[in-house]
Structures are given as structure tokens and as C-alpha cells.
Amino acid sequence: MTDIDYFTDLHCHPSMKAFYSNIRFSDKKNLWEFIPENSECKELPKILRKQIREMVKHSQMNLDTCKKGRVGLLFASLYPIERGWFDENNLSRIIIGKEIFAKSAVCSSGLNAEVVGIMIDDIENNKAVDYFSDLASEYYYLKSASAKSEHNENAFFIANNYNELAEIGFSDDKTSIGLVINIEGCHSLIGFDNYNDLKKTPFRKLNKKKYPEYLKYKNLIFNNIDILKGSKPLIIDVDGTGTEVNFEHCPLYITFAHHFWNLLCGHADSLSLGGDMVLNQNRGKNRKFTKLGKEVLYKLLEKSPAKRRILIDIKHLSIKSRKAFFKILREKYYSNNDLFPIISSHSAVNGRNSYLPVPREEMEELFFNAADINLFDEDIRMIYMSDGIIGIILNEARLIGFKPRLKIKKNKKKIRKLKKHEPQSPEIQVLEAENRSEYLLSLVSNIFHIVDVINKKEAWDMICIGSDFDGMIDALDDYALASGFSELKVQLMSFLGQTTDLGKINIDARRFSHLKFGYSNDVIINKIFHSNSMDFLKKYYHDDFLKFGNKH
């Protein structure tokens, strides 16, 4: 098996837990430190601890962990925390109560209790919420000494183009990890005078130019995009001092939608059963683009000798917004030979050929996780046509289908009981091996389904890993840390070597062999873990493309 120089991850959050580890910049943890589960978790009622048991509450992507796993290139997603995470609905307020809800928010997010308290205060007292300032502050933190390791042999850098990635390396003398900046959620571009404006500004007022809200937010967002593209600085508060921030690294892509209403487009349902009982993401869910949203899309995609284009990540877009986005691409850009790749940075497939709704009972019979948030076959075809890229998410709640996940959950319950009452039982290893096989089968099935939909050798060029680590996820138990990438690679190689068909997704032995298109398992694994994302950056991550449209 060929060694991989280093692993890549198309979507992760290496700075989120560290940035939100303290209010004061001078007291924030650095990017290298492992941040353990918050002590508030132990103070929760047993029933609530069970509800959030599967969420990873400690660091997954801190850079010391990346160093152990030789994860050298991180597409680092900056994410101003959406206040919707901390806005309890009436039902949860009655059942849980304010204090316990706050503790559960701290526990499940992995953020500092004081930070979460301030966000809850924003909601309860209808205070201003400036997501763009949060974004700029996280970027400032990444560039500051606070984020750096205390040990000289450990370093990271923010790359501005593909050529700069040559600095990535792991040796006995020095570790150098590269970051490519991106943003999760277009809410990041907006500041609100108060929380009610954020939560309650209706769709219609962003869909017609006659409303004052339309012009207000258009001017604000356009100004912030100009700042993001480096045209002028922004003043932020750093420990009580007004500090100038210049965006020296224009984000490569932005995930247009996220979990909650952003004034611009509809988002897909992203909360698992239980989460949707406590939180409310209904406003804007499953809607189309607003007229303002389309204008913001055009602004992000603008390019000139002075400003880079920012690419679009379709993860989290509702079906209506996805379809509208594809239509805009075809009619406004591709028809004029203005070509650029579509990104789906941390995704799974749903196995559905059309956007037509499927009854829940039928969805539960499918092997894949059939949720709308996952990729439809039409999405896969559009990404391929655009020469785009798909990052496979390592999130059990998204990657695994209903029936396989039911089996995994039952096994986990048995494992917990055995570890408590019979810790030496050999059945523990048997059950853990069963779950591991389910994880690997789902990963391989997702990958081969993408290739099967396209049915061309070039389909293998569009797949990589986009873990979503440290993004408040339910990770695959055996592969929940960046340090586990090496082991995941080894086990995927072994699984591929022992697999002759994928009967659960109707790929027989002949089809399975055909879909490899002559590639060895070694080459396939190298493409997924390293070369596809590097080749993507070689083609697109430079001024020649992002300013002038010339692909390398």
C-alpha cells in the first residue's frame, strides 16, 4: 500500500472550539490544544445526557491531533455561531427550563460557558447580533499569536494559492500544516440591529425591492463582501480595543445556507429527531432564494483583476434553492462560457434519482440516508458537469441510512451495558467490529454510488473527505478524530480488498469491477484522501482562475 504524503479534509472547523474557548483574545486556547468535554455535561439530567450522548463534545481537529494523523491540509471553515442554536422554543422551555437548557447548550456545542451565556443574553434581551464581526474576529484570531503553538517545531499557515501549499510537511524537526479558508453560512455576511430582526424578518421583505429591509441588507451585505474580498479593513473589538482587520486571504468558498434563516435562501432540514423538538429552524426552511439572495449570489461570484470570485458550496441548500442555483448557473454563467466548479463540501448521498418527495416509510427502507439535505443523483450530475468536488462527511447522522443506523444504535446500547457489567466480555469486540463494518460499507457505498451515477472514469476525480470535524456532529465512533485518518485509510483499503459487490445498493460483482475503471484500490484511496483535493486546488486556487477565469 502506497504511503500518502499527508491527508486532506475539504471541510472542518479547526479554529471553532479554540476561538470560542474564552471571551478574551488573550485567554483563548491555541489551535494545537486538545479541548476536553465541558464539565457542564456531568451536571445534566440523565435523560438529557442520553439525548446528546452521540455528539462529539471534545476537540476532533485540533492541530496536535492533525499532526498525529498526518492531516496536512485543512479547508478551515469559519463559522459565526448561529444564535438559533441557543434559542429554546416554548416546549423545551417548559420541559427543560432555562438553566438546564443553557448547560445542555454548553455541553453539546463544546463552547465556553461564558461565551454561550452572552449568546443566550443576545436572544433574551433582543440585543444586536453582528455575525460579520464574529467572522472577522475568528479570522483575526487565526492570524494572531493566540492561535499559534508554544512549540517552535509546530506551525500552521493560511495559504492564498495552490503554490503556497508546498510548505506543508511532517518531519522530525518541524510540522507545517496548511489552511485554506472558507465560510459556513451566508448569515456570516450580516449584522442585525437586534435579535428579532434576525429571527423574524419575513421572506417577502427580502423578495421585493420596495421594502426598506431589502435595500438596508443589500447595502450592508455588499459592503461586507467587499471587505471580505480585501478592498477595505473592518474595525473589531479585541479585548476592549478597536482593532483593524484586513482580509488578506479571500475565502475559496462559502456554504450559502446553514441551519437557520439567513434572509437569502431556503435551508434543508438539518436537525435530527430530538434536536427539532428543542430548537426551531422552520423559518425559511425548504424555501427558494429570495431576490436579495440572488443578488448576493451574483456579488459573491463577481471577479475582476482586483477581487477574487468566491465559489459556492451547495451543502444545506433546500431543494428549491438548489434547483434555482443550478438554473442560474446554466442560464447566467455557463451559457456565457463563464465556468466554475460547484462544491458540496461535507455531504452524503441519499440514493434518490429525483427531487420528488418520498413517504417516510419508504425512506426508512432505503440503504442510504434518504434525507433531503443529502445529495440527489441530479446534484451529483451537476457537480460532475461543473468539474466540482464532493467531500464525504464523517457524520453518522448524515452518512448512515435508517436501518443500518438502527443496528449500530442497538449494538452501541449492548456495548455500553457490557462495559458496565461485563467489561471483559469478548462480545464487546464482536459488536464493535459489526459497527465498524457498517461504517465502512456506508462509506464505500456512498463513494461507489457517486461513480455509478456518472458511470465515467473521471467520476473518481470528484470525491474526497469532508469530515465536518468539530462542527458539532455525531461522528463515526471508530474514526472520530483527525488522528484516525490513517487507520480509516488502512481499513478502507482492507474493506475494498475483501469486497466483490455492493448488493445492498444493487451493484453486483460485474458492476463493482466495472466502476473501478481499471483503478487499483491503492489509487482510489490516494485520490479520496489526498490527490483529488490537491488537483482541485491546482486547477482553481489561484488568481488566474479566481480573478480572470483561467483554469490550470
CATH number of the domain at 329, please: 3.20.20.140
Our CA angle for 326, 332, 335, nearest 5°, is 90
Query: Is residue 219 situated within a structural domain?
Result: yes
Q: What is the pLDDT of residue 491?
A: 98
Query: Is residue 537 situated within a structural domain?
Result: yes
| Distance, CA of 15 to CA of 31 (rounded, Å) | 6
Q: Please give the torsion angle defined by the CA atoms of residues 536, 338, 222 and 129, in that order, rounded to the nearest 10 degrees.
A: -40
Question: Is 132:190 a contact under the CB 8 Å cutoff?
Answer: yes
Query: Is residue 551 situated within a structural domain?
Result: no
Q: Does residue 341 have a pLDDT over 80?
A: yes
Query: Is residue 1 situated within a structural domain?
Result: no
Query: Is residue 255 situated within a structural domain?
Result: yes
Question: Is 369:399 a contact under the CB 8 Å cutoff?
Answer: yes
**What interhelical angle do 402-421 and 427-454 show, nearest 10?**
160
Q: How many domains does the chain have?
A: 1
Query: Is residue 2 situated within a structural domain?
Result: no
pLDDT band for position 246 (cuts 50, 70, 90)? very high
Q: Does residue 277 have a pLDDT over 70?
A: no
Q: What is the pLDDT of residue 324?
A: 98
pLDDT band for position 272 (cuts 50, 70, 90)? low
pLDDT, averaged across the chain: 95
Q: What is the pLDDT of residue 421?
A: 96
pLDDT in tens, 375-394: 999 999 999 999 999 999 99
| Distance, CA of 301 to CA of 329 (rounded, Å) | 10
| Distance, CA of 92 to CA of 88 (rounded, Å) | 6
55 against 290, higher pLDDT: 290
What's the whole-model pTM score? Answer: 0.97
The residue count of the chain comes to 552
pLDDT in tens, 425-438: 999 999 999 999 99
Query: Is residue 552 situated within a structural domain?
Result: no
Query: Is residue 180 situated within a structural domain?
Result: yes
CA 318, 320, 326, 328 torsion: positive or negative?
negative
- By C-alpha distance, which of 187, 399, 377 is closest to 296? 187
pLDDT in tens, 142-169: 999 778 888 878 999 999 999 999 999 9
Cell 463544546 belongs to residue: 110
Residue 337, domain extent: 7-546
Q: What is the pLDDT of residue 331?
A: 98
Q: Does residue 88 have a pLDDT over 80?
A: no
Q: What is the pLDDT of residue 148?
A: 86
Q: Does residue 274 have a pLDDT over 60?
A: no
